[in-house]
């Protein structure tokens, strides 16, 4: 598959983003929601911040405290055997898991799609109990003139998905939790199908070790039901361990094209393509056997969490997929893929 990576990659890195307070450093800017608004490309960046620790043996976690209305710091000693730091994203304790960074969403705008002006303060940050460990991985769907944003909210109750909306990217309305724990990677179809709204989502079954893609429908974008299983990791291919929706699906002549992410046994995050029926999105028309995009460049193979290509959004323009993606959970990069080659990979 011929792929164009921007020579300017990474187009946004942690140094380009102002921390939200002097107590934090930005360690990652990645997994951005994408749309066009007022002739500009809008990115809603996931900004991951770490509290600055003054002692090398102490790891700090930021937790939003609702009563105080601010992020408070919790200390974890590297010497304490009960603290497991083996995953750089987590502090695992017998009683509770914490995150090593806390994320918020930040707006960036660009006329050319490559050079972005990044706002100095968060557009949306943790603001309630459900969001106390941060908010992550936004996806933007333009539906009937309103921009709907699904985002992951993390707290001690688990990982949920919330909904927000905006018409101007200045003021945002929070519409609450739409999928309860554990469920993330929710993408809304940008139009109603036979009068109903549809979403792809990724529930988790710890008992059966399942992380599959499901489809749900809704009369109003808030109440989701009629859940249907769509597709699972595939033992014999590249996405053996887990799959999840990634970009907002977009319509082509042959149906809905969904760029999803899959994780293999080697723990690499790659992107794949699946084509869904236009009027019956629970029907898979084709699923590519190979990934359409995998980590190869230095900035993809090494970083905070290495070997990750993860997208929350793309622009489908001029028969090209203009993909904004998180590389190694550290930076935002840009690549282009041709629709024709993706369809070839789907044997269409």
Q: How far is the CB of 259 from ligand BMA (least distance, A)?
A: 14
- Whose Cβ is closer to ligand BMA: residue 188's or residue 327's? 327
DSSP 299: H
Place of tokens 């946004």: 12
Nearer to ligand BMA, 151 or 172 (CB): 151
> What value, to the nearest 5°, has the Cα angle with vertex 32 and ends 323 and 70?
175
Residue closer to ligand BMA, measured from CB, 29 or 275: 29
Which CB atom, from 198 or from 305, has the smaller least distance to ligand BMA? 305
Q: How far is the CB of 174 from ligand BMA (least distance, A)?
A: 20
CB of 312 to ligand BMA, least distance (A): 8
Identity of the residue, 137 or 217, whose beta carbon is nearer to ligand BMA in the bound complex = 137
Query: Which of residues 275 and 308 has its CB atom nearest to ligand BMA in the complex?
Result: 308
Of 343, 322, 342, the residue nearest 32 (C-alpha): 322
In sequence order, the β-bridge partners of residue 177 are 162
**Residue 308 Cβ vs ligand BMA, minimum distance, rounded to whole Å:** 5
* Nearest distance from C-beta of residue 301 to ligand BMA, angstroms: 13
Smallest gap from residue 122 Cβ to ligand BMA (A): 17
List the beta strands (DSSP E) in 69-128.
70-77, 90-92, 97-99, 102-110, 117-118
Q: Which residues are near ligand BMA by CB under 6 A?
A: 31, 136-137, 269, 305, 308, 310, 326, 329
Q: Smallest gap, in angstroms, from Cβ of residue 211 to ligand BMA?
A: 9
CA 337 to chain centre: 19
Q: Which helix (H) or strand (E) holds 164?
A: strand 158-166
Query: Which of 93, 62, 89 minimizes the C-alpha distance to 75?
Result: 62
Residue 307, exposed/middle/buried by CB under 10 A (0-12, 13-18, 19+)?
buried
* Residue at shortest CB range from ligand BMA: 310
Of the pair 137, 239, the CB lying nearest ligand BMA is at 137
DSSP state of 14: G
When the beta carbons of 217 and 329 are compared against ligand BMA, the nearer one is 329
Contact 105, 3 (CB under 8 A): no
Nearest distance in Å: CB 315, ligand BMA = 20
Nearest to 113 by CA among 36, 185, 186: 36
How far from 215 is each of 212, 228, 245, 271, 280, CA to CA, in Å? 10, 5, 10, 19, 11
């Amino acid at each position: 598959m011929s792929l164009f990576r921007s020579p300017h990659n990474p187009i946004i890195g942690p140094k380009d983003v102002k921390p939200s307070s002097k107590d934090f450093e930005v360690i990652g800017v990645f997994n951005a929601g994408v749309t066009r608004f007022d002739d500009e490309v809008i990115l809603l960046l996931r900004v991951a911040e770490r509290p600055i620790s003054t002692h090398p043996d102490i790891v700090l976690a930021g937790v939003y405290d609702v009563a105080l209305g601010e992020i408070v710091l919790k200390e974890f000693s590297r010497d304490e055997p009960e603290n497991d730091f083996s995953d750089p994203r987590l502090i695992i304790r017998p009683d509770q898991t914490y995150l090593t960074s806390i994320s918020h969403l930040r707006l960036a705008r660009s006329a050319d799609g490559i050079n972005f002006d990044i706002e100095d303060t968060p557009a949306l940050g943790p603001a309630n109990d459900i969001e106390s460990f941060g908010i992550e991985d936004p996806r933007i769907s333009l539906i009937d003139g309103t921009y709907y944003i699904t985002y992951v909210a993390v707290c001690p109750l688990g990982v949920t998905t919330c909904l927000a909306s905006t018409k101007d990217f200045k003021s945002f309305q929070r519409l609450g939790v739409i999928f309860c724990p554990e469920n993330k990677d929710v993408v809304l179809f940008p139009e109603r199908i036979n009068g109903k709204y549809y979403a792809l989502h990724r529930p988790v079954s710890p008992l059966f070790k399942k992380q599959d893609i499901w489809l749900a429908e809704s009369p109003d974008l808030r109440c989701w039901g009629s859940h249907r299983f769509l597709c699972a990791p595939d033992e014999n291919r590249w996405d053996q361990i887990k799959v999840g929706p990634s970009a907002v699906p977009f319509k082509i002549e042959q149906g809905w094209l969904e760029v999803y992410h899959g994780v293999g046994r080697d723990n690499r995050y790659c992107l794949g393509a699946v084509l869904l029926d236009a009027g019956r999105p629970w029907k898979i028309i084709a699923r590519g056997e190979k990934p359409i995009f995998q980590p190869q460049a230095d900035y993809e193979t090494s970083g905070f969490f290495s070997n990750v290509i993860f997208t929350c959004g793309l622009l489908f323009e001029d028969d090209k997929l203009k993909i904004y993606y998180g590389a190694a959970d550290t930076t935002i990069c840009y690549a282009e893929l041709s629709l024709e080659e993706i369809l070839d990979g789907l044997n269409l």
